[in-house]
């Protein structure tokens, strides 16, 4: 048995790959569910009902998908340029923290304050990735290591701030930062639910990222640099400028996810506000084969697993950590599926 | 005499393409068989089937009378087939001995079997005349030595039939000469050889028998002594091909002038105090044995390296610090040495590769947005004008053949009426038809007044195209000689570093 490179990948295969990957992941995880003493089919049915079974469930799921779309876009744009940003989690927290800090006592009307706070989150996220990008360009420091480790630095920094200068005195000792002013809370998309207009911002961001990557000179140069850096440089593409541009955009998207989550859902920042949005964003980007429109779909899928697993845990007693297992398995099976979209098996 | 190897009725299809069509071929003991054909004729596919990399759709392979199981490289190795690939498969950070042992000895024995393996390697090297230091790191070896290691690797596994895929593609002429002498020695030791080539002079000089492959079929088999290069060329291409001939023309003003240019830090100069002038309407050829500074010269003239001393001017203005985009901006075209790693981005479409250099120009983008329709129209015009076959603007570039890829790289440079063009190894790896097309385009650009600097390791090519020739040796350039005064002997001396009136001659 051997692998032969495909000269052409049919569209059906591009669509089929993530579907097959998800199917395989669910089958693999079924073993674990069964080991917990529950019928996997019943458990998965419970999961679907919990995420999509009611209006409230769907809005909860979409609330969860909103930051995931943004962190997924952050990973997609960086990975396209072969900039391995594993630090969306940290950038998310820095975006959230900056937004809460500035949004607590900003004396501006809402229509001006909201965009300004989103911009603040974006700048904070971008700055956190600018460092690793600079180190990579200047000294060839591996950004996988620096971005990954900065996640822990960022979360500890958030902890420091909410124990200190940004501590919310009205939270009765609960470790949370001061909340953003009510004027800057994002309005509800569906009344009496947690779903907020941040979802629309996230979808708009996906459209803008697609436009940048697919239609602009910067996007073309990004793709060129990612696929063959040497040939891109030969053709006159400035690698440092391209990589730095991609880093700023990627960090900004992850920072925006944090800003939107604070303004839309949590109001204050805690060190546990992200159930791994940054890491799950990597899975969302991979499942979508780094396609911005696909990221929206895969983020919704991952949110379904996360929200559904909570419901499944309540109904069947299977620990909801199974969601992390399923999402991680999806990344592995998707990597295999991607192999088969570019190679065929020959006997 | 019984054949050692027989291929019987081999057929292999890839989708709609029939790469091998009912091929029957045999190899006698101690024989050198040349498999001649253009790129895409099916030579490599056939050898991959023989070696078990691919399984044939029909037909079978017999080795010493035994049928080989299809699609099993290990079975082929054990039966005594050795393959030397065009692109070497050596671990650069390991020694020669490690590389030879890897894959043939069990991992656990890599340490314990060293002494034994060293003795065996010594024995083989001596017997076949392939001297090599077993403890040298691969990264320190020259290309010719690395190839020797590949051959030793096959012999270490007791290969009795050796297949060499385009063995001279990476070698300079003297190295190739030496290789063929070695191969001849090896047949005296009982080995039988097949080598794949599209170079006629090699086939004529080094083989006993020639099988010509065209369009997946064997179109002719000849004893080498009973044929000639012209007949083989016609058989291979299927029609008569003549390379275009340079006609005399008056040259114009100096365009590109280098004065005392060095590249690289003091003490480790990659180019050392070189001076040359390229005039409008002439081709200046730079010849030399590979690894003598051609890469640095190519990098300098394509903007990837900058002069550390001296001056480089284009039309009187400084060009040393321009960089790739700056050079394109002043209409200096660049054709890189390696199309795959520098010339094109294989995963991108033809139109994206055609426009990448000039994407920021107003004809291809507006306020940062790519004008896709204009780009595709431009790519279509390139395809049309430069006869890039098998391409539409949307085709993924890596699907093009080497010759058509080169026409794309050349076309995107030449269609802008460049003042200066650097062409580095423009026909390496191309077949006869594509070489003729590339030569014709270069001569046409010359006729229109472009100043062209040609770096080539193919002497015939340099002599046929160039008006003047300089040799590059250890990062230094000889004085130019006119092409009509450049007989092979003089060029040979120049390439060895012997040139008159030069204090640096060694």
Looking at the partner chain, which of B55, B356, B399 has a beta carbon nearest the beta carbon of A235? Answer: B356
**Following CA atoms A5, A10, A14, A16 in sequence, which dihedral angle do they give, to the nearest 10 degrees?**
-110
pLDDT of the residue at B505: 40
**How many whole angstroms separate alpha carbon B431 and alpha carbon B434?**
5
Neighbours of B447 (CB within 10 A): 12
* Distances B311 to A217, B107, B268 between C-alpha atoms, Å: 33, 55, 19
pLDDT higher than threshold 60 for residue B501: no
A227 CA: distance to closest CA in chain B (Å): 7
**How many whole angstroms separate alpha carbon B52 and alpha carbon B75?**
8
For chain B, give the percent of residues with pLDDT over 70: 97
Q: Is A235 in Cβ contact with B324 (below 8 Å)?
A: yes
Q: Which of A33-42, A334-343, B174-183, B232-241 has the highest mean pLDDT?
A: A33-42
pLDDT of the residue at A240: 94
pLDDT of the residue at A248: 97
Question: Which of B68-72, B95-99, B359-363 has the weakest average pLDDT?
Answer: B68-72
Compute the mean pLDDT over every residue in chain B, rounded to the nearest whole number: 88
CA-based nearest residue to B306, from B317, B319, B288, B316: B319
Q: Is B323 in Cβ contact with A235 (below 8 Å)?
A: no
pLDDT of the residue at B484: 85
pLDDT 10s digit of each residue in chain A, 347 long? 566 777 677 778 888 888 999 999 999 999 999 998 889 999 999 999 999 999 999 999 999 999 999 999 999 999 999 999 999 999 999 999 999 999 998 888 888 999 999 999 999 999 999 999 999 999 999 999 999 999 999 999 999 999 988 888 887 778 899 999 988 998 888 888 899 999 999 999 999 999 999 999 999 999 999 999 999 999 999 999 999 999 999 999 999 999 999 999 998 999 999 999 999 999 999 989 899 999 999 999 999 999 998 888 888 888 888 888 998 898 899 889 888 887 777 65
Cα end-to-end distance, chain B, whole Å: 52
B155 CA: distance to closest CA in chain A (Å): 25
Residue predicted with more confidence, B234 or A4: B234
A200 CA: distance to closest CA in chain B (Å): 25
The 3-class secondary structure across B33-46, one letter per residue, is EEEECCCCCCHHHH
pLDDT of the residue at B358: 94
Chain B residues inside the 8 Å CB shell of A2: 53, 71
pLDDT of the residue at B504: 47
Q: Which of A222, A231, A239, A242 to mutate to test the interface with B (most CBs of B within 10 A)?
A: A231
**How many whole angstroms separate alpha carbon B398 and alpha carbon B340?**
8
Q: Is A232 in Cβ contact with B369 (below 8 Å)?
A: no
pLDDT tens-digit series, residues B108-129: 666 778 888 888 888 888 888 7
Cα end-to-end distance, chain A, whole Å: 4
Q: Which pair of structure tokens corresponds to residue A191?
A: 């009344």
Contacts of A72 (CB under 8 A, 6+ apart): A280, A281, A282, A284, A285, A288, A295, A298, A299
Q: A343-346 and B332-335: which strand pairing?
A: unpaired
- Tokens 């939270």 -> residue: A171
pLDDT of the residue at B168: 80
A322 CA: distance to closest CA in chain B (Å): 38
List helix spans (H) across A217-321: 217-227, 229-234, 239-261, 277-287, 292-316
Residue B133 confidence class, pLDDT cut points 50, 70, 90: confident
pLDDT of the residue at A128: 97
pLDDT of the residue at B500: 58
Chain B residues inside the 8 Å CB shell of A208: none
Q: Is A220 in Cβ contact with B359 (below 8 Å)?
A: yes
Predicted TM-score (pTM) of the model is: 0.79
Is residue B190 less than 8 Å (CB to CB) from chain A? no
Looking at the partner chain, which of A223, A228, A234 has a beta carbon nearest the beta carbon of B302? Answer: A234
Looking at the partner chain, which of A215, A216, A223 has a beta carbon nearest the beta carbon of B348? Answer: A223
Residue predicted with more confidence, B245 or A6: B245
Q: Which of A220, A228, A234 to mutate to test the interface with B (most CBs of B within 10 A)?
A: A234
Query: Residue A30 is inside which H or E element, if any?
Result: helix A11-35
The residues facing B194 across adjacent strands are B33, B163
The residues facing B213 across adjacent strands are B218
**How many whole angstroms separate alpha carbon A235 and alpha carbon B305?**
14
Q: Is B368 in Cβ contact with A216 (below 8 Å)?
A: yes
In this prediction the ipTM stands at 0.85
Count CA atoms within 13 Å of residue A199 on its CB side: 20
**How many whole angstroms separate alpha carbon B447 and alpha carbon A186?**
68
* Distances B388 to A181, B237, B350 between C-alpha atoms, Å: 63, 18, 10
Chain A stretch 192-231, residues whose beta carbon is closer than 8 A to a beta carbon of chain B: 215-221, 223-224, 227-228, 230-231
Is residue B360 less than 8 Å (CB to CB) from chain A? yes
Looking at the partner chain, which of A215, A234, A347 has a beta carbon nearest the beta carbon of B71? Answer: A347
**Which chain A residue is nearest to residue B400, measuring alpha carbons?**
A7
Q: Is A347 in Cβ contact with B328 (below 8 Å)?
A: no
pLDDT higher than threshold 70 for residue B107: no
Chain A residues inside the 8 Å CB shell of B346: 227-228
A228 CA: distance to closest CA in chain B (Å): 6
> What one-character-per-residue DSSP string does B353-412 give?
HHHGGGTTSTTTEETTEE-HHHHHHHHHHHHHHTT-TT--TTSBGGGS-HHHHHHHHHHH
Give buried/exposed letters for A104-121 (b at 16+ CB in 10 A, else e): bebeeeeeebbeebbbbb
Residue B146 confidence class, pLDDT cut points 50, 70, 90: confident
Chain A residues inside the 8 Å CB shell of B357: 235-236
B394 CA: distance to closest CA in chain A (Å): 12
pLDDT tens-digit series, residues B404-429: 899 999 999 999 999 999 999 998 87
pLDDT tens-digit series, residues B247-256: 888 889 999 9
pLDDT higher than threshold 50 for residue B506: no
Chain B residues inside the 8 Å CB shell of A218: 368
Chain B residues inside the 8 Å CB shell of A215: 369-370, 372
**How many whole angstroms separate alpha carbon A7 and alpha carbon B506?**
51
B471: phi then psi, degrees, rounded to nearest 5: -100, 145
Looking at the partner chain, which of A221, A224, A234 has a beta carbon nearest the beta carbon of B342? Answer: A234
pLDDT of the residue at A278: 95
Chain A residues inside the 8 Å CB shell of B342: 230-231, 234
Q: Is B55 in Cβ contact with A346 (below 8 Å)?
A: yes
Is residue B352 less than 8 Å (CB to CB) from chain A? yes
Q: Which of A96-100, A110-114, B55-59, B232-236 has the highest mean pLDDT?
A: A96-100
A270 CA: distance to closest CA in chain B (Å): 40
* Distances B22 to B19, B42, B57, B234 between C-alpha atoms, Å: 10, 12, 10, 22
Q: Is A237 in Cβ contact with B360 (below 8 Å)?
A: no
Chain B stretch 144-163, residues whose beta carbon is closer than 8 A to a beta carbon of chain A: none
pLDDT tens-digit series, residues B443-485: 999 999 999 999 998 888 898 899 999 999 989 999 999 988 8
Looking at the partner chain, which of A216, A228, A235 has a beta carbon nearest the beta carbon of B370? Answer: A216
- Tokens 């010359």 -> residue: B446
Q: Is A231 in Cβ contact with B344 (below 8 Å)?
A: yes
pLDDT of the residue at A347: 57
Residue predicted with more confidence, A337 or B352: B352
CA-based nearest residue to B161, from B190, B125, B201: B190
Q: B369-370 and B365-366: which strand pairing?
A: antiparallel
pLDDT tens-digit series, residues A94-132: 999 999 999 998 888 888 999 999 999 999 999 999 999
Q: Is B343 in Cβ contact with A224 (below 8 Å)?
A: no
Looking at the partner chain, which of B53, B324, B352 has a beta carbon nearest the beta carbon of A233? Answer: B324
Q: Which of A217, A227, A242 to mutate to test the interface with B (most CBs of B within 10 A)?
A: A217
**How many whole angstroms separate alpha carbon A36 and alpha carbon A27?**
15
pLDDT of the residue at B140: 82
């Amino acid at each position: 048995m051997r692998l032969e490179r495909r000269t052409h990948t049919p569209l059906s295969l591009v669509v089929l790959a993530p579907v097959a990957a998800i199917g395989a992941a669910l089958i693999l995880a079924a073993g674990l569910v069964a080991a917990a003493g529950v019928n996997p089919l019943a458990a998965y049915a419970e999961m679907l009902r919990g995420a999509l079974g009611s209006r409230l469930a769907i809005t909860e799921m979409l609330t969860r998908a909103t930051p995931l779309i943004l962190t997924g876009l952050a990973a997609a744009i960086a990975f396209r340029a072969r900039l391995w940003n594993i630090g969306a989690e940290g950038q998310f927290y820095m975006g959230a923290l900056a937004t809460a800090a500035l949004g607590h006592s900003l004396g501006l009307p809402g229509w001006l304050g909201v965009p300004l706070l989103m911009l603040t989150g974006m700048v904070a996220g971008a700055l956190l990735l600018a460092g690793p990008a600079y180190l990579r360009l200047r000294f060839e420091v591996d950004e996988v290591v620096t971005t990954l480790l900065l996640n822990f630095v960022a979360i500890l920094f958030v902890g420091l701030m909410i124990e200190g200068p940004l501590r919310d005195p009205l939270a009765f000792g609960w470790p949370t930062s001061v909340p953003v002013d009510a004027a800057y809370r994002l309005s509800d998309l569906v009344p009496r639910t947690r779903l907020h207009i941040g979802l629309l911002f996230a979808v708009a961001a996906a459209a803008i990222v697609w436009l940048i990557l697919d239609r602009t000179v910067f996007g073309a140069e990004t793709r060129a640099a990612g696929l063959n850096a040497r040939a891109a440089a030969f053709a006159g593409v400035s690698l440092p400028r391209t990589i730095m541009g991609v880093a700023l955009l990627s960090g900004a998207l992850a920072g925006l996810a944090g800003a939107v989550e604070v303004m839309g859902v949590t109001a204050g920042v805690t060190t546990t506000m992200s159930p791994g949005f940054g890491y799950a964003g990597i899975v969302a980007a991979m499942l979508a084969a780094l396609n911005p429109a696909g990221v929206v779909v895969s983020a919704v899928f991952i949110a379904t697993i996360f929200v559904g697993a909570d419901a499944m845990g309540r109904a069947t007693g299977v620990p909801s950590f199974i969601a992390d297992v399923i999402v991680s398995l999806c990344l592995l099976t998707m990597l295999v599926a991607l192999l088969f979209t570019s190679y065929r098996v020959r006997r | 005499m019984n054949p050692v190897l027989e291929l019987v009725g081999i057929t292999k299809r890839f989708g709609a393409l029939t790469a091998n069509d009912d091929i029957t071929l045999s190899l006698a003991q101690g024989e050198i068989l040349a498999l001649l054909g253009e790129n895409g004729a099916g030579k490599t596919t056939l050898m991959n089937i023989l070696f078990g990399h691919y399984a044939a759709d029909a037909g079978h392979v017999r080795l010493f009378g035994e049928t080989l199981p299809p699609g099993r490289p290990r079975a082929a190795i054990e039966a005594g087939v050795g393959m030397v690939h065009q692109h070497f498969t050596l671990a650069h950070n390991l020694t020669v001995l490690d590389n030879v042992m890897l894959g043939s000895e069990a991992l656990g024995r890599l340490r314990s079997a060293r002494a034994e393996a060293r003795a065996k390697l010594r024995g083989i090297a001596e017997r076949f005349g392939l001297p090599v230091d077993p403890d040298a790191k691969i990264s320190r070896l020259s290309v010719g030595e690395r190839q020797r290691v590949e051959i030793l690797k096959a012999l270490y596994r007791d290969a009795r039939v050796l297949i060499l895929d385009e063995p001279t593609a990476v070698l300079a002429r003297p190295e190739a000469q030496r290789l063929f002498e070695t191969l001849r020695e090896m047949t005296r030791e009982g080995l039988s050889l097949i080598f794949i080539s599209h170079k006629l002079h090699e086939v004529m000089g080094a083989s006993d028998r020639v099988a010509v492959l065209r369009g997946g079929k064997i179109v002719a088999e000849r004893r080498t002594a009973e044929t000639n290069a012209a007949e083989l060329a016609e058989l291979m291409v299927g029609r008569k091909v003549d390379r275009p001939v340079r006609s005399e023309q008056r040259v114009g003003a100096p365009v590109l002038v280098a004065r005392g240019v060095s590249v690289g830090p003091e003490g480790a100069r990659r180019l050392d105090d070189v001076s040359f002038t390229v005039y409008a309407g002439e081709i200046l050829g730079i010849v030399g044995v590979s690894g003598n500074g051609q890469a640095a010269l190519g990098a300098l003239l394509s903007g990837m390296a900058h002069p550390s001393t001296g001056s480089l001017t284009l039309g009187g203005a400084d060009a040393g610090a321009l960089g790739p985009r700056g050079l394109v901006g002043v209409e200096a075209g660049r054709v890189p040495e390696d199309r795959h790693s520098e010339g094109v981005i294989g995963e991108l479409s033809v139109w994206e590769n055609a426009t990448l250099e000039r994407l920021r120009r107003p004809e291809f983008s507006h306020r940062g947005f790519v004008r896709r329709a204009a780009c595709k129209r431009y790519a279509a015009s390139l395809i049309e004008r430069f006869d890039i076959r098998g391409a539409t603007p949307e085709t993924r570039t890596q699907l093009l053949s080497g010759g058509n890829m080169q026409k794309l790289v050349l076309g995107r440079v030449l269609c802008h009426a460049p003042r200066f063009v650097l062409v580095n190894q423009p026909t390496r790896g191309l077949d006869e038809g594509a070489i003729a097309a590339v030569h014709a385009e270069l001569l046409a650009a010359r006729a229109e007044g472009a100043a062209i600097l040609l770096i080539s390791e193919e002497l015939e090519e340099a002599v046929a195209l160039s008006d003047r020739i300089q040799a590059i040796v250890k990062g230094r350039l000889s004085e130019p000689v006119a092409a009509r005064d450049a007989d092979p002997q003089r060029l040979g001396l120049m390439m060895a570093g012997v040139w008159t009136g030069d204090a640096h001659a060694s």
